[in-house]
């Protein structure tokens, strides 16, 4: 499973990219608003930094607007992916952009039928929101498993981006459920490096070495 960072913060993206663990970046309007900078400039800076798919989300709600915005996002950099919400207008835009050779990421997916619709419309990536499903007392990871089965059985080309990841267990479960990618917030990625046995193990290796070699 590949790791993307779910962020529009250039410092956080750079830090994780320098560690060699990133295969792409996803943003959304909330993450962009959190940074408060020029959206297109931010997307270009991210795309110049990270060598992989970079999702920039449309804010139009009608198909025509989404298609126009999508064309502009795609022109920002060859690695740009147009992120489109899972609505009727969104599927119309996904179909139209796919026909133009523009890659898409259908977001806000919360059910297997929604995933089927997005795959059928030609989405390059589909983003089921694991954490938000857990928040309402359902099993987000179960949805990832079902979508992966559907993709394999019916031969869709779309890749699953396991999104709305809240903790290490979500990363582990996404791998086991067959997600192609997980997009992970900076704070969760930082914690993924850590394990108490790694810390004590390293401490003991160095202590043992110093006892003999000084
Ligand atoms: O970027 C989409 C998704 O990852 C959002 O996550 O934490 O706002 O539910 P969250």
DSSP 20: T
Cα 30 to middle of ligand 1, angstroms: 9
pTM score > 0.75 for this model?
Answer: yes
Average pLDDT over residues 87-113: 98
Report pLDDT for 195.
96
Residues catalogued as catalytic: 83
Atom 9 of ligand 1, nearest CA residue = 164
Residue 90 — very low, low, confident or very high, per pLDDT cuts 50/70/90?
A: very high
| Pocket lined around ligand 1, Cβ cut-off 6 Å | 6, 26, 28, 129, 131-132, 163-164, 183
Task: Calculate what percentage of the chain has a pLDDT beyond 70.
Answer: 100
Residue 136 — very low, low, confident or very high, per pLDDT cuts 50/70/90?
A: very high
Give the number of other CB atoms < 10 A from CB of residue 209: 10
Residue 193 — very low, low, confident or very high, per pLDDT cuts 50/70/90?
A: very high
Residue 28 — very low, low, confident or very high, per pLDDT cuts 50/70/90?
A: very high
- What is the position in ligand 1's atom list of the atom closest to the CA of 108? 2
Report pLDDT for 77.
98
Cα 180 to middle of ligand 1, angstroms: 17
Cα 71 to middle of ligand 1, angstroms: 24
Region of 164 on the Ramachandran plot (φ > 0 left; ψ -120 to 50 alpha; else beta) = left
DSSP string for 41-100? HHHHHHHHHSSS-EEEE----SHHHHHHHHHHHHHH-TTEEEEEESSHHHHHHHHHHHHT
Contact predicate 119/87, CB 8 Å: no
Report pLDDT for 145.
98
Contact predicate 186/7, CB 8 Å: yes
- Angle at 53 (CA atoms; ends 11, 73), nearest 5 degrees: 90
Residue 173, SS3 per DSSP = helix
Cα 129 to middle of ligand 1, angstroms: 7
Atom 6 of ligand 1, nearest CA residue = 164
- What is the position in ligand 1's atom list of the atom closest to the CA of 131? 9
Per residue in 160-178, pLDDT (tens digit) is 999 999 999 999 999 999 9
Average pLDDT over residues 121-134: 98
Per residue in 32-78, pLDDT (tens digit) is 999 999 999 999 999 999 999 999 999 999 999 999 999 999 999 99
Report pLDDT for 181.
99
Report pLDDT for 104.
98
**Burial class, 153, CB count within 10 angstroms (exposed 0-12 / middle 13-18 / buried 19+):** exposed
Atom 5 of ligand 1, nearest CA residue = 164
Residues facing residue 2 across a β-bridge: 181
Report pLDDT for 159.
98
């Amino acid at each position: 499973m590949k790791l993307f960072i779910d962020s529009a913060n250039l410092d956080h993206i750079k830090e994780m990219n320098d560690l060699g663990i990133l295969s792409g970046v996803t943003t959304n309007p909330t993450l962009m608003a959190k940074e408060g900078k020029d959206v297109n400039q931010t997307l270009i800076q991210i795309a110049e930094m990270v060598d992989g798919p970079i999702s920039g989300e449309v804010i139009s709600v009608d198909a025509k607007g989404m298609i126009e915005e999508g064309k502009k996002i795609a022109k920002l950099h060859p690695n740009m992916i147009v992120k489109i919400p899972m609505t009727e207008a969104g599927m119309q835009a996904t179909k139209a952009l796919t026909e133009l050779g523009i890659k898409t990421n259908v977001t806000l997916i919360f059910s297997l039928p929604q995933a089927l619709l997005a795959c059928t419309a030609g989405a390059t990536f589909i983003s089921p929101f694991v954490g938000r499903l857990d928040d309402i007392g359902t099993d987000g990871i179960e949805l990832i498993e079902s979508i992966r089965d559907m993709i394999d059985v019916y031969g869709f080309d779309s890749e699953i981006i396991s999104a709305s990841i809240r903790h290490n267990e979500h990363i582990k479960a996404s791998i086991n459920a067959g997600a192609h990618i997980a997009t992970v917030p900076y704070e969760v990625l930082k914690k993924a490096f850590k394990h108490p046995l790694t810390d004590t193990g390293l401490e003991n290796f160095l202590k043992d070495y110093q006892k003999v070699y000084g």
